[in-house]
Chains A and B, each alone.
Chain A
Amino acid sequence: MHICMHICVHVCTQDCVHDCIGDSVGAPQDFAINQIGAFLATLLIIQIWYHVMNRLYCTRQQANKKCQNRLLGVKIQKMLSFNAITFTYPTDTIPALKHVSCAVAKGSTLAILGANGSGKSTLARLANALLIPDSGTVSIIADAADNPVNNPVDYSVGDALHNSADVAVFDAFAGAAAKAAVIKTTEEKTETHVSVMTNDVADAADITNYESIRRHVALVMQDPDDQILTTSVKDEVAFGPQNLCVPADEIEKRVAQALVSVGFTTEDFGKRDPNSLSGGQKQRLVIASCLSMQPDYLVLDEPTSMLDTTAASEVQKALAVLSASGHGLLLVTHSLDEALRADEVVVLQNGQVAFSGSSKKLWELYLQNTQEFKSLAISVSPLLQLAHQLSSFGLSINTKQLSPAGLTNAILRGANAIATSKIDAANRDLSHTGAKQTNMSQHASHLHCCNDKQHEVKIFNVEKTSVYGAKCHSEALSSLTNNNGALEQRETLDIKASDSGDTKEREALLNITKSNNSDGFKQREVLLNIKNVSFAYSEAGSKKVDVSKKVLNNVNLKIAAGELHLLVGVNGSGKSTLLRIAAGLLPPSCGSVTLCDSGIAPLPGDIGLVFQNPEDQLFATTVFDDIAFGLRNTGRGNDAALLREYVNDALEDVALSPSDFSSRSPFTLSGGQARRVAIATVLAMRQRVVLFDEPTSGLDSHGVAQIVGMLMKLRASGVAVVLVSHDIDAFLPLADKVSVLKHGRVTFSGSAAELVASAFTLVDAGLKLPALLDFQQRMGMSPNEYSLDVATVASRALRINSRYHAVRAGL
Chain B
Amino acid sequence: MRMPLGQYIAGDSILHRLDARMKLLLLAAYVAALFLIQTSLAMIIGVAILLACYFIARISLVMAFRGLLPVAFILAFTFCAHAFTLTYDPSVTTAEPLNLPPLIPDFFASVFLDGIPDFVPIWGSFAFKPVGALEGLFFVTRIFALISATTLLTITSSIVTLTSSISQLLRPLARIKVPVEDVAMMFSIALRFIPLISEQAEKLVFAMSARGQRFNQGGPIRRLRAYVPVLIPLFVSLFRRADTLALAMESRCYQGENRTRLANTQLTVCELISTLTIVVMLLLFGILC
Interface residues of A (CB under 8 A from B): 3-4, 6-7, 10-11, 13-19, 21, 28-30, 32-34, 36-38, 40-45, 47-49, 51-53, 55-56, 59, 125, 128, 130, 207, 211, 214-215, 218-219, 221, 223, 225-232, 235, 238-248, 251-252, 273-275, 289-290, 293, 537, 540, 551, 577, 580, 583, 585, 604-605, 607-609, 611, 614, 616-620, 629-630, 633-634, 667, 681-682, 685
Cα separation A44 to B253 with both chains bound (whole Å): 20
| A residues less than 8 Å from B185 (CB atoms) | 229
Cα separation A36 to B211 with both chains bound (whole Å): 20
| B residues less than 8 Å from A618 (CB atoms) | 233
Apart from A13-B71, A52-B249, A223-B244, list 7 A-B contacts with CB within 8 A.
A3-B28, A11-B154, A18-B7, A37-B194, A44-B190, A53-B256, A226-B245
Q: Are B244 and A226 within 8 A (Cβ)?
A: yes
| B residues less than 8 Å from A226 (CB atoms) | 241, 244-245, 248
| B residues less than 8 Å from A19 (CB atoms) | 3
Interface residues of B (CB under 8 A from A): 1-7, 24, 27-28, 31, 66-67, 69-71, 146-147, 150-151, 153-154, 159-160, 162-164, 166, 170, 182, 185-186, 188-198, 200-216, 227-239, 241-256, 258-263
* Nearest neighbor of A609 in chain B, beta-carbon distance: B210
- Kindly name the residue among B70, B170, B252 whose own CB sees the greatest number of chain A CB atoms within 10 A: B252
Q: Are B154 and A14 within 8 A (Cβ)?
A: yes
Q: Are A14 and B70 within 8 A (Cβ)?
A: yes
Cα separation A692 to B190 with both chains bound (whole Å): 31
| B residues less than 8 Å from A228 (CB atoms) | 192
Cα separation A577 to B206 with both chains bound (whole Å): 11
Q: Are A619 and B211 within 8 A (Cβ)?
A: no
Q: Are A17 and B210 within 8 A (Cβ)?
A: no
| B residues less than 8 Å from A18 (CB atoms) | 7, 66
| A residues less than 8 Å from B151 (CB atoms) | 10, 14
From the candidates B189, B209, B234, name the one contacting A36 in the complex (CB within 8 A). B234
Q: Are A214 and B160 within 8 A (Cβ)?
A: no
Minimum distance in angstroms from B230 CB to a CB of chain A: 7
| B residues less than 8 Å from A629 (CB atoms) | 211, 213, 229
Given A40-B197, A226-B241, CB of A231 within 8 Å of CB of B211: no
Q: Are B207 and A48 within 8 A (Cβ)?
A: no
From the candidates A55, A130, A245, A274, name the one contacting B258 in the complex (CB within 8 A). A245
Given A14-B154, A238-B262, A290-B252, CB of A40 within 8 Å of CB of B244: no
From the candidates B24, B189, B210, name the one contacting A229 in the complex (CB within 8 A). B189
| A residues less than 8 Å from B235 (CB atoms) | 40, 43
- Kindly name the residue among B5, B162, B212, B235 whose own CB sees the greatest number of chain A CB atoms within 10 A: B212
Q: Are B7 and A15 within 8 A (Cβ)?
A: yes
Q: Are A227 and B262 within 8 A (Cβ)?
A: no
* Nearest neighbor of A131 in chain B, beta-carbon distance: B247
Q: In the A-B complex, list the 4 residue pairs whose CB atoms are closest, starting with the nearest.
A: A633-B212, A37-B198, A605-B212, A51-B246
Q: Are A229 and B256 within 8 A (Cβ)?
A: no
From the candidates B170, B186, B215, B239, name the one contacting A28 in the complex (CB within 8 A). B215
Q: Are A225 and B246 within 8 A (Cβ)?
A: no
| B residues less than 8 Å from A52 (CB atoms) | 246, 249-250, 254
Q: Are B66 and A21 within 8 A (Cβ)?
A: yes
Q: Are A56 and B206 within 8 A (Cβ)?
A: no
Q: Are B196 and A235 within 8 A (Cβ)?
A: no
Cα separation A651 to B202 with both chains bound (whole Å): 27
Q: Are A232 and B160 within 8 A (Cβ)?
A: yes
Cα separation A604 to B213 with both chains bound (whole Å): 8
Q: Are A3 and B24 within 8 A (Cβ)?
A: yes
From the candidates A14, A44, A219, A630, name the one contacting B212 in the complex (CB within 8 A). A630
Tally A-B pairs: CB < 8 A. 272
| A residues less than 8 Å from B211 (CB atoms) | 605, 629-630, 633, 681-682, 685
Cα separation A223 to B248 with both chains bound (whole Å): 11
| A residues less than 8 Å from B263 (CB atoms) | 248
A-B contact pairs, 12 of them (CB 8 A): A11-B154, A14-B7, A40-B201, A41-B190, A41-B193, A51-B242, A218-B252, A231-B163, A243-B258, A275-B196, A609-B206, A619-B236
Cα separation A34 to B243 with both chains bound (whole Å): 23
Cα separation A15 to B195 with both chains bound (whole Å): 12
Cα separation A17 to B6 with both chains bound (whole Å): 11
Cα separation A10 to B69 with both chains bound (whole Å): 11
| A residues less than 8 Å from B4 (CB atoms) | 540
| A residues less than 8 Å from B154 (CB atoms) | 7, 10-11, 14
| B residues less than 8 Å from A214 (CB atoms) | 250-253
Minimum distance in angstroms from A719 CB to a CB of chain B: 15
Q: Are A230 and B188 within 8 A (Cβ)?
A: yes
Minimum distance in angstroms from A45 CB to a CB of chain B: 5
Q: Are B245 and A229 within 8 A (Cβ)?
A: yes
From the candidates B1, B200, B243, B253, name the one contacting A51 in the complex (CB within 8 A). B243
Cα separation A481 to B227 with both chains bound (whole Å): 61
Cα separation A681 to B208 with both chains bound (whole Å): 10
Cα separation A223 to B185 with both chains bound (whole Å): 21
| A residues less than 8 Å from B237 (CB atoms) | 616
Q: Are A619 and B232 within 8 A (Cβ)?
A: yes
Q: Are A15 and B6 within 8 A (Cβ)?
A: yes
Q: Are B227 and A32 within 8 A (Cβ)?
A: yes
Cα separation A223 to B228 with both chains bound (whole Å): 26
| A residues less than 8 Å from B236 (CB atoms) | 616, 619, 667
Cα separation A15 to B6 with both chains bound (whole Å): 6
| B residues less than 8 Å from A43 (CB atoms) | 235, 238
Q: Are B210 and A36 within 8 A (Cβ)?
A: no
From the candidates A10, A47, A231, A585, name the one contacting B239 in the complex (CB within 8 A). A47
- Kindly name the residue among B163, B197, B204, B241 whose own CB sees the greatest number of chain A CB atoms within 10 A: B197
| A residues less than 8 Å from B254 (CB atoms) | 52, 239, 243
Cα separation A38 to B197 with both chains bound (whole Å): 8
Q: Are B159 and A11 within 8 A (Cβ)?
A: yes
Minimum distance in angstroms from A528 CB to a CB of chain B: 14
Minimum distance in angstroms from A796 CB to a CB of chain B: 44
Q: Are A275 and B201 within 8 A (Cβ)?
A: no
| B residues less than 8 Å from A685 (CB atoms) | 211-212
Cα separation A634 to B208 with both chains bound (whole Å): 12
From the candidates B31, B194, B250, name the one contacting A130 in the complex (CB within 8 A). B250
Cα separation A53 to B256 with both chains bound (whole Å): 8
Q: Are B248 and A221 within 8 A (Cβ)?
A: yes
Minimum distance in angstroms from A244 CB to a CB of chain B: 6
Minimum distance in angstroms from B78 CB to a CB of chain A: 16
Q: Are A17 and B256 within 8 A (Cβ)?
A: no
Cα separation A14 to B31 with both chains bound (whole Å): 19
* Nearest neighbor of A127 in chain B, beta-carbon distance: B251
| A residues less than 8 Å from B214 (CB atoms) | 604, 633
Cα separation A221 to B244 with both chains bound (whole Å): 9
Given A580-B206, A604-B210, CB of A7 within 8 Å of CB of B150: yes
Minimum distance in angstroms from B260 CB to a CB of chain A: 5
Minimum distance in angstroms from B252 CB to a CB of chain A: 4
Cα separation A604 to B208 with both chains bound (whole Å): 9
| B residues less than 8 Å from A56 (CB atoms) | 250, 255-256
| A residues less than 8 Å from B198 (CB atoms) | 33-34, 36-37
Q: Are B253 and A244 within 8 A (Cβ)?
A: yes
* Nearest neighbor of A48 in chain B, beta-carbon distance: B242
Q: Are B202 and A33 within 8 A (Cβ)?
A: yes
| B residues less than 8 Å from A238 (CB atoms) | 262
* Nearest neighbor of A255 in chain B, beta-carbon distance: B262
* Nearest neighbor of B160 in chain A, beta-carbon distance: A231
Cα separation A583 to B210 with both chains bound (whole Å): 7
Q: Are A242 and B260 within 8 A (Cβ)?
A: yes
